[in-house]
Amino acid sequence: MKHGKKYNESAKSFEQKNFYDAKEAIDICVKTAKASFDETVELHVRLGIDSRHADQQVRGALVLPNGTGKKVKILAICKGENEKLAQEAGADYVGAEEMAQKIQSENWMDFDVLITTPDMMGVVGRLGKILGPRGLMPNPKAGTVTTNIAKAIQEAKAGKIEYRLDKTNIIHCPIGKASFGAEKLYENFEALMGAIIKAKPEASKGQYIRSCVVSSTMGPGVKINSGKLESM
């Protein structure tokens, strides 16, 4: 795979085969983010479990201490008093059946997060084939199906992220922007890694964290010494 000049310069600035302590890896990642825009820093964690088994799923959500640096567009599908609460909490779009119909008939997707209430899941559930592949289907574990819609919206605006094991047994998550600096990114990293470790399934045997890499949007991956992570 061919890379650009900036990527190649960044890749030469550190030993790509080496494994680094998390703080040092994040510092390298920030220094090698040389794009003309504020790059997102992502964490990629390979786990020693099998996502094909129901008892080895890892999924959850948390509010990062320093947020994500991303402005999030929120759609709230709810009724009655919850519509007013959602608007006051800062949802970008609020509605009930008409919003679900807009998604279904127009393939409308101008939002990043969909938050709903349990009583509306009968309506939202019909959108599974549209929302599911895009990772937008609300889920109680992620806090996007809730009776407290105002709190869920406020948390999403504050930098709440969802972590979820994919089919290749890897979790991919943003931990902020390169402009945050290494210290704030490390605080977000600690919070996310702590949540992933706490979510370790009882069925997990052997080494839980197999590998861990941080990278910016356009930069090279920096390997983290995963042997020290499970004791965090």
pLDDT in tens, 52-65: 999 999 999 999 99
d(CA 14, CA 206): 31
Report whether pLDDT(188) > 80. yes
The whole-number pLDDT of residue 1 equals 63
232 pLDDT band (50/70/90 cuts)? Answer: low
Report whether pLDDT(20) > 90. yes
Largest CA distance in the chain: 58
The whole-number pLDDT of residue 8 equals 80
Phi, psi of 2 (to 5 degrees): -85, 140
Report whether pLDDT(3) > 80. no
In this structure, what token pair is assigned to residue 207? 């080494």
